[in-house]
Amino acid sequence: MIPRTKVNYRIPDLIRASLINESTDERRRLLTDRLAELFGTSNILLTASGRGALYILLSCLPQSRVLIPAYTCKAVVEAAQLANKEVLFGDSEVDGFNMSVNSLKSLLNANTILLATHQYGIPCDIHSMTHLAEEAGSFVIEDAAASFGSRLEGRLTGTFGDAAFFSFDSTKLINVPLKGGFLLVQDPVVFARCKYFHDTMTAPMPLIRKLHYLLLGFILVMLEQPHLYRLFHNLKFHWRGRFTDDSDKIDPHLGLFYIDRLAEWQATLLLPQIDQLDALVAKRRQIYATYLNRLQGVKTFTLPPPDTNGEWAPIRFPIRLHREKLDFYRKAVQRGVDFAFSFTFIASPPEFSYSHKLAASVLNLPFFQRISEKEVDHVVSTLLELDKLIEKGA
């Protein structure tokens, strides 16, 4: 069975990382320097997760409200609530995955933080959003958790707003066990406040957690074997009548991804991936374009938009089903193709209709760095077969 995702690191990488001396900051400093060079600012703060980075930033900003997309990861809402912010929602584009500019016009003011999300690595209309925010006196945070390496008119996402946060989760372009992330802040005063907050409210990752995360990393690599993945899928999902670990629950407590620090061993795994960034992005663009080209003409689902200028670093290939997506999903699983579920359970109220329609319709094709041509062929042939069957009413 073709898995939902595969990680970038391999078992030898994990073994080397396990031997790293955690008493030094050498690799973290080097990682910070590489990111600073890439984004053109020294105000880079490594964090245990993307949500942890957002929580730190929101906790250090005086505004009491934050406007976020109604269609997004519920961890974003979690971080905002933990930072004691009032959460407002903006509905999705009619035919896209990002927040509609029209939905935020009446909500922005000097007491509101705008969270501009580049969902799946597809840039939002950041120019219009920052323009409206500037007029209203709002602080702009780019949610670039899913768009590391994406560009708009040659400029990296994460560099348009007042600040941005990024994620190194296992589903992202660059990844480590179990998560990781960083914060980018333009204002040195705000950055200093964030760094102080981070240094006082977080602690180095305990050894037991390091061993646990490394073990999970080993398991993720091993599950790339088709037969092992099939067994895992049956045990975790199929035989239990489930399709995702996600739920509509938001944790009201500060978890490990908020209170830990990014570890030296994690930085060791990240550095080679940063060095290979251009190749990683090029591979994702190639897979994205291949799927888009070979699935043209399908009737039962809508394809994502094309990367016309060849600038995106997509981390998903999201399709929108026109009918009940779980039936489509189960038929694909029977044929050896698993899909990822992104934000099936969103935290916004039901009146945000476009966002809930998205949540009910989106499935993500297998889309990872080391997907083989044979696997892509199998995914495409499966989708085309199901498209014909469902169109005929079979």
Q: How do residues 298-317 score in pLDDT, each as one tens digit?
A: 999 999 999 999 999 999 99
**Spatial distance between the Cα atoms of 342 and 183, rounded to a whole number of angstroms:** 23
Q: How do residues 315-329 score in pLDDT, each as one tens digit?
A: 999 999 999 999 999
Domain of residue 112, CATH code: 3.40.640.10
Provide the CA 69 distance to its chain's centre, in angstroms: 14
Pairing of strands 301-302, 181-185: unpaired
Domain assignment present for 210: no
Provide the CA 34 distance to its chain's centre, in angstroms: 21
- Are residues 156 and 235 part of one domain? no
Of 167, 201, 235, the last residue of a domain is 201
How large is the C-alpha radius of gyration of the chain? 20
- Are residues 157 and 25 part of one domain? yes
The order of strands in the sheet holding 362-364 is 301-302, 318-321, 362-364
> Rounded mean pLDDT of 355-377?
96
Q: Select the more confidently predicted residue: 240 or 44.
A: 44
**Spatial distance between the Cα atoms of 225 and 374, rounded to a whole number of angstroms:** 14
Question: For residue 394, what pLDDT is reported?
Answer: 61
Peptide bond into 383 cis (omega under 30): no
- Are residues 47 and 161 part of one domain? yes
Domain assignment present for 53: yes
Share of the chain above pLDDT 70, in %: 100
Helix (H, G, I), strand (E, B) or coil at 65: strand
Domain assignment present for 95: yes
**Spatial distance between the Cα atoms of 298 and 38, rounded to a whole number of angstroms:** 39
Domain of residue 313, CATH code: 3.90.1150.10
Q: Please classify residue 122 by burial: count the beta carbons closer than 10 Å to its beta carbon, then call 0-12 exposed, 13-18 middle and 19+ buried.
A: buried
- Are residues 291 and 197 part of one domain? no
Domain assignment present for 267: no
Residue type, 330: R
> Rounded mean pLDDT of 23-38?
97
Domain assignment present for 166: yes
Domain assignment present for 262: no
Question: For residue 347, what pLDDT is reported?
Answer: 94
- Both tokens of residue 271? 């550095």
- Are residues 46 and 131 part of one domain? yes
Provide the CA 341 distance to its chain's centre, in angstroms: 12
Q: Which domain holds residue 190?
A: 17-201
Residue 90: strand pairing partners: 69
- Are residues 234 and 123 part of one domain? no
Question: For residue 361, what pLDDT is reported?
Answer: 97
- Are residues 280 and 320 part of one domain? yes
- Are residues 368 and 314 part of one domain? yes
Share of the chain above pLDDT 90, in %: 93
- Are residues 232 and 160 part of one domain? no
Q: How do residues 125-143 score in pLDDT, each as one tens digit?
A: 999 999 999 999 999 999 9
| Domain count for the chain | 2
| Residue 337 backbone phi and psi in degrees, to 5 | -125, 120
Q: How do residues 57-102 score in pLDDT, each as one tens digit?
A: 999 999 999 999 999 999 999 999 999 999 999 999 999 999 999 9
- Are residues 284 and 176 part of one domain? no
Domain assignment present for 212: no
Domain assignment present for 209: no
- Are residues 40 and 185 part of one domain? yes
Q: Would you say 117 and 72 are in contact if contact means Cβ atoms under 8 Å apart?
A: yes
- Are residues 282 and 166 part of one domain? no
